[in-house]
Structure 1
Amino acid sequence: MGTADHLVADSWFDALPGDQRAGLLAGAQARTIDDGTHVYRIGDPPNGLHAVVTGRVRLVSYPAAGQELVNMIVRPGRWFGELSVIDGRERPHDAIAAGPARILTVPMGAIAGLAAVVPDLWRGLALLNCMHHRLGMREAARVRALPALARLALFLAGGRGHVDGRFDTTQDELARIVGVSRQHMNGLLRQLAGQGLIAPAYGGVAIRDRSGLLALADRG
Structure 2
Amino acid sequence: MRPDPDRARRLLATKGWLADQPEDLRRQILSGAHIMERQPGEYVYAMGDAPTGIYALTSGRLKFVNYLSSGREVGTWITEPVDWFGEVSMFDRLPRLQSTIALDRCVVLHLPAAGFEAIVAACPAYWRNFGLILSGHLRTAMRFLEDVAAEASHIRVGRLLVMMAAGESEREVTAGVVVEVSQDQLASTTGLSRQSANKALKRLEGEGLVERRYGAVILTDPARLAALGR
TM-score (structure 2 length as normaliser): 0.62
Residues in 2 aligned to 1:9 and 1:74: alpha-carbon distance in whole angstroms = 18
1:33 aligns with 2:64: no
Q: In structure 2, list runs of 5 or more residues that go unmatched.
A: 1-5, 159-180, 199-212, 220-230
**Local SS of the residue matching 1:35:** coil
Residues in 2 aligned to 1:62 and 1:9: alpha-carbon distance in whole angstroms = 35
Match 1:146 to one of 135, 157, 174: 157
Taking a change above 3 Å as real, the CA distance of residues 91 and 24 of structure 1, as seen in their structure-2 partners, is same
Residues in 1 aligned to 2:50 and 2:134: alpha-carbon distance in whole angstroms = 18
Task: Tell me the equivalent position of 1:110.
Answer: 115
Paired residues of 1:8 and 1:77 also in contact (CA < 8 A): no
Report the Cα offset of residue 146 of structure 1.
2.8
**Local SS of the residue matching 1:146:** helix
How many equivalent pairs are there?
170
Paired residues of 1:30 and 1:102 also in contact (CA < 8 A): yes
1:22 aligns with 2:22: no
**Local SS of the residue matching 1:119:** coil
Residues in 2 aligned to 1:179 and 1:59: alpha-carbon distance in whole angstroms = 18
Task: Tell me the equivalent position of 2:105.
Answer: 100
1:82 aligns with 2:87: yes
**Local SS of the residue matching 1:14:** helix
**Local SS of the residue matching 1:102:** strand
Query: What's the CA shift string for 1:99-124, capped at 9, x where partnerless?
Result: 10001100001111111212122111
Match 1:10 to one of 1, 8, 15: 15
**Local SS of the residue matching 1:39:** strand
Report the Cα offset of residue 40 of structure 1.
0.7
Taking a change above 3 Å as real, the CA distance of residues 25 and 2 of structure 1, as seen in their structure-2 partners, is same
Residues in 2 aligned to 1:9 and 1:65: alpha-carbon distance in whole angstroms = 43
Task: Tell me the equivalent position of 1:55.
Answer: 60
- Work out the percentage of aligned pairs sharing the same amino acid: 26
Residues in 1 aligned to 2:132 and 2:188: alpha-carbon distance in whole angstroms = 30
TM-score (structure 1 length as normaliser): 0.65
Letter of the 2:56 counterpart: A
RMSD between superposed Cα atoms in Å = 3.2
Report the Cα offset of residue 65 of structure 1.
3.5
